[in-house]
Amino acid sequence: MRGKLALYQPDGSPLTEGQVQGYVRRAAQKAGLFNNGPHMLCHTFCSHLAMRGAPAQAIQELAGHQNLTTTSRMCRTT
């Protein structure tokens, strides 16, 4: 997990956005979950970090947000 890519094809090339969306959609269907797509996974990940007390600036960096206000709106724990 130290390379540039976390998700890649067998030949080492990156997955396309459509491939990732398809994988997430199929996994959600198999789990009987409402599918909100890969973006919802990012929101869930960041919200869990916030609930566990991670610093807002660290969450901002992981989420790729330029503005801390965006992170704060996404990661409300109330």
Q: How confident is the model at residue 75 (pLDDT cuts 50, 70, 90)?
A: low
Does residue 6 lie in a domain region?
no
Does residue 51 lie in a domain region?
yes
pTM: 0.59
Does residue 45 lie in a domain region?
yes
Does residue 68 lie in a domain region?
yes
Does residue 63 lie in a domain region?
yes
Does residue 18 lie in a domain region?
no
| Range(s) of the domain holding residue 52 | 37-78
Alpha-carbon distances of 23 from 28, 32, 33, 40, rounded to whole Å: 9, 14, 13, 14
Structural domains of the chain, count: 1
Does residue 31 lie in a domain region?
no
Does residue 14 lie in a domain region?
no
Spatial distance between the Cα atoms of 44 and 39, rounded to a whole number of angstroms: 9
State pLDDT tens for residues 13-44. 889 989 988 888 888 888 887 766 777 788 88
